[in-house]
Structure formats: C-alpha cells, structure tokens
Homo-oligomer: A and B are copies of this chain.
C-alpha cells in the first residue's frame, strides 16, 4: 500500500479561477493527474484553454517526461474530485466562511494521508482549519501569478498544523520545481503580499497626490529598484549599496531616515476618481494591447528572466 501511495501522482484542484488554473498547468507539467472541481458554467473549457495557452512557456522552463495536458479531468462534486489525491489545493474566492466550508467538505472526503493546501493570499491558516476534523494536515500554500512560471510558494501552518506535514509539503512543492518558503509565524497576508501591499499603498498615494502617473511609477520600478530586486531582493540590494562594509554601513548611514515621515501611514480612500486614474492609467499604458497579449509577452520575458536568476542568484 505504501508503494502505491508513493507512486500516486494525483492531485485535486478545487476552484479554477486564474490561480486554480495556474496550479493545474504546473501540476500537469510535472506529470500529475489532476481532477478539478468548479461549479461555474464553462469552467472546464476555460481551464483547458488556459492550460493550452500556458503550455509553450512551460515547455521552455522544462517539464517532466510524463507531462501531459490530457491528464486533466473535471469531477461533478468535491467528493469525487478529492478521491485518491495526495494533495488537494483549494482556490475558491477569498471569503473566510466560504473557504472554511469548502475545506470542511474536502477534509470529509479526502484520503487519510492526503495533504490539504489553501491558496489564500490573506487569511491565516488557524482561522481556515477551525472546522476541519483533521486540521493537522492543513496548511496555506500560497502561490504567485502566473503559478506555472513563478517559483515562490509560501507555506504557513496554523496552530493545529503538524510540523511534519509542513516539511512533507515543502518536499512536495520543491519537486514541482517551486521555491517553497515555510513561514514561521502566521500573519495576515503572509510575507510577500505584505511587502507588495506596502509598496502598492504608497504607489496609490503618489497617484492620488498627483506626484506621478501609474506609468511613471511602473517606469521608476522597472528601470530602478525592480531590476535589482529581481536578482537579490531588498536586503541584499542594500547590502551591496553599503560599500565594502555592506549592510552594517547602510544601517548606520540610512537608519535615521527611516523615522522620517516619507511614506504615507495609511492607505488613501479608494475614491471613484482615484480608481479611474489608476484604471485609465493602466489602460492607456497598455495602448490597445489586450491582457492576453501582455500575458504572452510576460511569459516570454519570465522564461528568460528565470534562467538568468537561476544563473546569478546568490
């Protein structure tokens, strides 16, 4: 029985929006059999289309020999979808009670040895595992869009999560060619989204105050900090900016500026005017190109950038 369990390559994906479909593509690319469930009309056709759109980018980053788009099937119920799966990945809308109920149903029908992960970007795992009979096998496994290309997955356990399960999940996601990051304390937004959100708030303020347009802010990141962060992240970037003494010198020189009232302390009101400014800013920057066209360009870029990061990351 153990041998069978070890060789089982079946997962379930519950909820097939952008993130669920991204997971499906990554699982298929690593040779998994995927059973999906989503009650929306046309969900299956959309999934198959998304996987097919993603496939050429995935091929360039490398897939396993048993990768196969046809290993995807849709089940009519959660119960049938989760049967035999070693991992069930939940990706329903970001509402706590909805997720709790869906997870409870997954938990009821999942195999005893199955792991259950949630893609939640903000809710802490202790809250999500409250209604489970087997909360110890539940964790947050939060990926980044496009899931089939970006390697990061944040793994966060709740109060009732078994540490051994987290370690097993880490191995599992590493085998999907991901960079799993176990986060030691559960906080809303985990780590990466908190960082993004901090920058996002300030960006909204700058637009709101008329200091810069959305395109100018994008340019400021692309031609400045973004190029460095892609290789090193914020800390090592500053380590390099400190000269021979690295971060030690940086903190002495720039520490005091931290207390200066540069950034706004609260998020701006999302007024209709600010919304329009942000939306039309992006639309005019996109200049008639559809999101699908931009996504294709993004994928070509990411495939090459990932190779660079692989080669030069320290």
Contacts and interface: CB of A to CB of B under 8 A. Distances in A.
Contacts of A275: 251, 255
A198 interface: yes
A206 B191 contact: yes
A163 interface: no
B199 A199 contact: yes
Given A218-B234, A279-B247, A192 B312 contact: no
Interface in A292-307: 292, 294-295, 297-298, 300-302, 304-306
A140 to B, nearest CB: 13
A181 B215 CA distance: 10
A291 B210 contact: no
Interface in A251-267: 251, 255, 257-263, 265-267
A154 interface: yes
Given A194-B262, A225-B192, A239-B286, A185 B201 contact: no
A309 interface: yes
A195 B189 contact: no
A278 interface: yes
A256 to B, nearest CB: 8
A1 interface: no
A248 interface: yes
Interface string A181-208: 1011101110111111111111110100
Contacts of A229: 221-222, 225-226, 229-230
Contact of A185 (B145, B209, B265, B294): B209
Contacts of A223: 144, 150-152, 179, 309
